Amino acid sequence: QRDRRHVLRLLETRLPRRIRQLLDDLAQVAEVEGVNIYAVGGFVRDLLLGVANLDVDVVVEGNAIAFAEALQRQCDCRVRPHEKFVTAVVIFPDGYKLDLASTRTEYYLQPGALPLVEQASLKLDLYRRDFTINTLALALNGPRQGELTDYFGAQRDLHDKALRVLHNLSFVEDPTRMLRAVRFEQRLGFTLGQHTAHLLRSAVQMGFLQRVSASRVLHELVLLLGEPQPGRALARLVELGLLDAISEELRFDDSLQQHFVQAGRAINWYELLPEVAPLEHWPVYFLCLLADLKTTAVERLCQRLGMPQRYRRLFVEQRHEAWPQYHQLERLGQRVEQLCGSELARLLDGLPVELLLLGMARTRHQPVRLAFSRYVTGLRCLRPMLDGRDLQRLGCPAGPLLGTLLRQLRDARLDGQVHTREEELAWVRVQLATRELTKEER
Ligand code: CTP
């Protein structure tokens, strides 16, 4: 059991200044308002485990919206209240968001009717949670500041590295908790308690996950695929029968495990390149998971999961378009090394980075992998230094010839025929002087 002083020291030493300052502000406002507030859930769990977690969830013993408004009078922030559940999100100028919940909840029996206010206790709030390790409450103000409230044996389970539900109906009430269980197991290196594992297997067998809305399943799947080693979590989903429950179209075996490992390497490699845009990891793994599924099967899967349109485009249309390019590179095998830059660019131009990384991850041929990396690191963003206006200044008329010359100038750069602006200018002059125009260009 951690004593108060020990927890206060953790708050002092393990948190970044920004969060310490926030907790101080919250405590001050709570004192003025005369309410008790607690940090709860993942934040407290991770504080004790020594894992970074900047997502502070706060429960107010009283009305969270009133508290948020008091905070707004003290600090520079905006409040987004959610009247129905008496919760509020506080948004700070740097974009940081804080979630506030109340132990006081109001129910509207009919629209327009007066709300029934229920004064729930902190214990009830914590009892509604998924696993014991998420049920700690840490007092943030008053004489009890730093004190842990542990109604359900959270500290014991943190010590034993055990994931346990609070009651037998936990997975029935919220079947997405089964996916959360796998995520926490992998992320924290914990194991399901025996009874919890038994409850989970029964809930799988009884088909409870199939009753959950598509968007909630997708949300959990996305979180799972966003973890550092999603391959291990996927293997566990298979073991527990959860992958089948998500979709019977999906499978995951040793060869896909291998693709996942390679995808992880490709992502790491990509993120070390200078000046690349931030990349979401999960779509790359999701593409791996689609393996050899036919486009129609992927369409069905996206439909079933309620996949948002922009990802659907990536997984269905763009993936479909990438297939012939992958095949062509694979067919070339060793000979891809001889492709000049413009030939490689013609094959891979237009593919989004997720599909380029998938190509790297899936191939068994080192020269093909190198071709992808050569394209991503150098060729993909290479453009001529001259633009359309420069070409017009050199005497090129506006029209189809201009477009053709710009494309060919890029090819010349990709193939290393021109390197500098002067060389590009010379190249264009020669073209304009010597080139026989086609009918369309005239
Ligand atoms: N929770 C739950 N059942 C769910 C989702 C969430 O009981 N299906 C509870 C958990 O106890 C959790 C809290 O709500 O502690 C907040 O949810 P979330 O932010 O998703 O959980 P964290 O534990 O903070 O997880 P993460 O570290 O992944 O953010």
352-369 confidence digits (pLDDT tens)? 999 999 999 999 999 999
Look at the chain and report how many structural domains it folds into: 4
Residue 363 and residue 267: Cα distance in Å, rounded? 15
pLDDT in tens, 331-344: 988 888 888 899 99
Domain that holds residue 123: 4-159
ipTM: 0.93
Query: Is 60 exceeded by the pLDDT of residue 115?
Result: no
Shortest-distance atom of ligand 1 to CA 135: 11
Residue 302 lies in a domain: yes
Which of 13, 95, 105, 12 lies closest to 59, judged by CA?
Answer: 105
Nearest CA to ligand 1 atom 29: 42
Residues 74 and 177 both lie in one domain: no
pLDDT value at position 2?
A: 67
Tell me the pLDDT band of 442, cut-offs 50, 70 and 90: low
Tell me: pLDDT of 437 over 70.
no
134 lines ligand 1 (CB under 6 A): yes
Residues 278 and 155 in one domain: no
Asked, for residue 166, whether it belongs to a domain, the answer is yes
Over the chain, what is the mean pLDDT?
Answer: 91
pLDDT of residue 110: 59
Is the CB of residue 176 below 6 angstroms from any atom belonging to ligand 1?
Answer: yes
With a 6 Å cutoff on the Cβ, whether 177 touches ligand 1 is yes
d(CA 118, CA 422) in angstroms, rounded, equals 77
The domain that contains 22 carries what CATH number?
A: 3.30.460.10
Query: How far is the C-alpha of 56 from the C-alpha of 20, rounded, in Å?
Result: 11
Picking from 186, 218, 246, the residue at the C-terminal end of a domain is: 246
CATH number at residue 367: 1.20.58
Percentage, residues of the chain above pLDDT 70: 94
**pLDDT-based confidence at 112, cuts 50/70/90?**
low
Phi, psi of 38, rounded to the nearest 5 degrees:
-135, 140
pLDDT band of residue 105 (cuts 50, 70, 90) is low
271 and 343 in a single domain? The answer is: yes
Res 1: pLDDT: 54
Which residue would you say has higher pLDDT here, 223 or 440? 223
Given a cut of 90, is residue 275 above it in pLDDT? no
Contacts of 286 (CB under 8 A, 6+ apart): 221, 225, 311, 315
**Can you tell me the mean pLDDT for 380-390?**
88
Rounded Cα distance, 156 and 132, in Å: 9
What mean pLDDT is predicted for residues 246-263? 95
Residues 418 and 279 reside in one and the same domain: no
399-435 confidence digits (pLDDT tens): 888 888 999 999 999 898 999 999 999 898 888 888 7
Domain stop point among 159, 185, 220: 159
> Are 344 and 379 in contact, with CB atoms under 8 Å apart?
yes
Same domain, 286 and 364: yes
Average pLDDT over residues 63-68: 95
The preferred substitution site among 180, 213, 215, 223 for testing ligand 1, maximizing ligand atoms within 8 Å of CB, is 180
Instruction: Establish if 126 belongs to a structural domain.
Output: yes
Name which residue sits closest to atom 21 of ligand 1, judged by CA.
Answer: 42
Task: Give the pLDDT mean for 203-230.
Answer: 95
Q: Are residues 375 and 282 in the same domain?
A: yes
Query: pLDDT tens-digit profile of 292-308?
Result: 899 999 999 999 999 99
Residues 421, 409 share a domain: yes
Give the residue-averaged pLDDT of 84-105: 89
Instruction: Give how far Cα 293 sits from Cα of 288, 360, 363, Å.
Output: 10, 18, 17
Residue 114 CA from chain centroid, whole number: 40
Check if 129 has its Cβ closer than 6 Å to any atom of ligand 1.
yes
Specify the higher pLDDT residue, 120 or 172.
Answer: 172
Burial 417-437 (b: 16+ CB within 10 A, else e): ebeeeeebbebbeebbeeeee
**Alpha helices by DSSP H, 154-213:** 154-160, 170-173, 176-188, 194-205
Q: What is the mean pLDDT of residues 324-328?
A: 92
Question: How far does the centroid of ligand 1 lie from the alpha carbon of residue 310, in Å?
Answer: 27
Residues 46 and 170 in one domain: no
> Residue 99: CB within 6 Å of ligand 1?
no
Q: Kindly give the residue spans of alpha helices, DSSP state H, lying in 226-281.
A: 230-239, 242-246, 254-271
Mutation test residue for ligand 1: of 46, 98, 123, 130, the one with most atoms within 8 Å of CB: 130
Cα-based torsion angle of the residue sequence 63, 65, 67, 71 in order, rounded to the nearest 10 degrees? 180
Q: Do residues 414 and 427 share a domain?
A: yes
Same-domain status, 358 and 229: no
Q: With a cut of 70, say whether residue 111 has pLDDT above it.
A: no
* Residue where one domain finishes, among candidates 100, 132, 159: 159
CA nearest ligand 1 atom 15, residue: 41
Smallest CA-to-CA distance from 96 within 56, 155, 52, 126 is with 56
Same domain, 234 and 272: no
For residue 253, tell me if it sits in a domain: no
Do 219 and 299 belong together in one domain? no
